[in-house]
Chains A and B, each alone.
Chain A
């Protein structure tokens, strides 16, 4: 390289994080001896403004034109230091980070070899940065519409936030109505306000907001494009009911002769083959469940009861699924959660003992719009005199979900209160630990403790019948170890509630692939940063909110949804996104026109120019993976900032 490269190297102590393991002065001494290094310094916190100023001063006073920061992972602070360069008038791509914290100081037992590794990493960065060239990111326009996948409280909140700023939102919901799990709940902790009372007004707002294009009974089936300009294919499943004609009178549901278990009532009541999931559904337009409808599944063309009685002539058996293409700038994923199915823990009796319920079923039993009108009843119609509420069913259990589902302690307390209120009976809480962290949560715990609830610290061993032969009228025997007494206890109760885990949706993997999202170890969608960026993802322009990111309560979900809306709006307001400058380019003097790269590009960003017989890259579509570069037999393709020259130089550097 020519001698005009003037490299400044800055080794961060990161307090004791790096300096406590790596011999920083030794690294600095080593760097002084490397080619083109004009200055090498160390500082206790390079990410502080004082650290930034060190770099800025050297750029101005010593004419530094390449910078190596040897500190934490580039995933954390590369952008920070790129901005520092920019502020000092240097192109941000003339920076290289040597990661001596996460992948060095934090990864190894202290010793000589760790400092040696740090020296290698810094040498590699110094060699590499000499080959860096200034680059400008492309600016791409942001289409001012947003797609929200999932119409639970998270999707509703995000949709309203964006629509209230008068920007178009497409809200896509798989079920016939929006509302999600929150619509199924009776009361919400810790304030005990009725869930429907606070949710349905929001659902109505969604229905009447002119900026929200609501698509229920619809699914996103394909996503292509990139941040600012996604093309989304939505499948609108045939409702077989004309939305414009239907007047929501409900006569079709009354006359339909075929029933099946209601998903909304968690299987505790029946719904018809033509149905709205619940009375306050938005939109309040029924759908025909084709698998249950006699017209579709039984004798073709038979029945037609709904059609006959519909005065509005809204029934349309010939309606077909529609595929609609949408153009959006960003995507908010709010797909929610599934509840754990406790039948797999057979000793808990769920599925064969009639009075063992899941938390979601109990919500429905308590609800005035539920299968019993809010009256607590056992299978034989008696009022229960006692209940056992079992925490952590499927959660905090290495056999199922290792994580804590976060909301169960609180809803278990809520169930105690509701059970006491409705029956005045005995309540036993079987908990492992009480986790009541949240505003006014501890106070609610105290309140329920004062309501003469029995708290037993121990994990449920099994639930058995009392052996009366018939299941009806049977008493349940709860067996567990009371770890505070150190003894085995058997408690007879009438009813048991299993507080089941919140787990990733069964089709999370499919959605993750479609949107190119990562997943964390627990299976939920992976956020960009667990603390500092819990809303964004590694897919630029795609945000995750609510329980699809991790189990959380309603306040946290709403806050996260508003945060994602703000992020989407920030992009729309700015009107453009700076796409990365890390893109491939083809040297047409070297390209032989073999077209090998054309088919390999996952984004179709490379096309063959028939006129000049060479391949060219559409740099807006390119994402810089360098798959083309690695395949080019002529070595004609190079990806900016990851060119062969740069990587080769890094290899030389780390192996010196």
Chain B
């Protein structure tokens, strides 16, 4: 059987979760590997959530928030933007390759952006293969 990656998508409640719902309502089609977890704001994504996901066996993590300037909480997604840049650097040290963690803005009417982001991360993580980090022990310490 071919490798089917396990990917978690953290979706903000106001734009991205609504956009993902719209993708379903409009019967768009995308890979079933990405499992959504709803947050109130992408800015509320604690960096440890991402580490936790890899510790629990995820092969990739997608983070989605409102378009810049459209955050329901004014500017939470700018905080996401900055944190994700820093987080990528930390993840690198744990041996988590860059394409495994992706950030995509998905507005409430951007069903297509969501579908494209899901298919993109799925195919890229598929190409990388399953996540097996040398530094998983360190990741566990941080994530638990």
Contact = CB atoms under 8 A, between A and B. Distances in A.
Interface of A: 73-75, 99, 101-109, 111, 113-114, 116-117, 120-121, 124, 512-513, 516, 518-521, 526, 538, 582, 600, 602-603, 623-627, 629-631, 639, 642, 644, 647-648, 650-652, 654-655
A75 B21 CA distance: 9
Top 6 closest pairs, chain A to chain B, by CB? A626-B44, A102-B24, A106-B24, A625-B41, A625-B73, A655-B56
Contacts of A103: 20-21, 23-24, 36
Q: B6, B46, B56, B74: which has the most chain A beta carbons within 10 Å?
A: B46
Nearest to A652: B56
A371 B134 CA distance: 80
Given A102-B24, A518-B14, A655-B53, 7 more contacts: A103-B24, A113-B32, A518-B108, A625-B43, A627-B41, A642-B39, A651-B49
A519 B32 CA distance: 28
B126 to A, nearest CB: 13
Contacts of A113: 4, 32-33
Contacts of B130: none
Given A102-B24, A102-B25, A623-B73, A644 B40 contact: no
A513 B72 CA distance: 9
B28 interface: yes
A621 B21 CA distance: 28
A623 B75 CA distance: 13
B25 A106 contact: yes
Interface in B26-63: 27-33, 35-41, 43-49, 52-53, 56-58
Contact of A518 (B15, B17, B30, B75): B15
Interface of B: 4, 6, 8, 14-15, 17-18, 20-25, 27-33, 35-41, 43-49, 52-53, 56-58, 69-70, 72-76, 79, 83, 107-109
Nearest to A116: B32
Contact of B48 (A99, A526, A644): A644
B8 A651 contact: yes
A513 B69 CA distance: 8
A516 B72 contact: yes
Contact of B35 (A526, A538, A623, A654): A654
Nearest to A602: B74
A626 B35 contact: no
Contacts of B41: 625-627
Contacts of B75: 602
A234 B109 CA distance: 31
A116 B5 CA distance: 12
9 contacts: A107-B23, A107-B27, A108-B31, A602-B76, A630-B79, A639-B40, A639-B44, A642-B39, A651-B49
Nearest to A643: B46
Contacts of A107: 20, 23-24, 27-30, 32
Nearest to B44: A626
Contacts, number: 147
A259 B109 CA distance: 45
Contact of A526 (B17, B32, B33, B109): B109
Nearest to A97: B38
B14 A627 contact: no
Given A102-B25, A518-B107, A538-B14, A647 B39 contact: yes
A648 B49 contact: yes
B112 to A, nearest CB: 10
Contacts of B20: 102-103, 107
A73 B21 contact: yes
Contacts of A73: 17, 21, 24
B92 to A, nearest CB: 20
A186 to B, nearest CB: 36
A625 B76 contact: yes
A252 to B, nearest CB: 43
A506 B20 CA distance: 28
A520 B37 contact: no
B35 A582 contact: no
A526 B109 CA distance: 9
Given A518-B70, A538-B72, A108 B32 contact: yes
A281 to B, nearest CB: 37
B109 A521 contact: yes
A402 to B, nearest CB: 13
B44 A629 contact: yes
Contacts of A538: 14, 72, 108
Given A113-B4, A124-B37, A518-B15, A627 B76 contact: yes
A253 to B, nearest CB: 42
Given A102-B24, A647-B49, A626 B39 contact: yes
B29 A630 contact: no
A222 to B, nearest CB: 13
B37 A117 contact: no
B28 A642 contact: no
A602 to B, nearest CB: 4
Given A75-B17, A626-B40, A647-B49, A655 B6 contact: yes
A518 B109 CA distance: 9
B57 A655 contact: yes
A120 B36 CA distance: 10
A655 B6 CA distance: 7
A117 B56 contact: no
B37 A654 contact: yes
Nearest to B83: A630
B43 A121 contact: no
A627 B32 contact: no
A582 B40 contact: yes
Contacts of B14: 518, 538
A642 B44 contact: yes
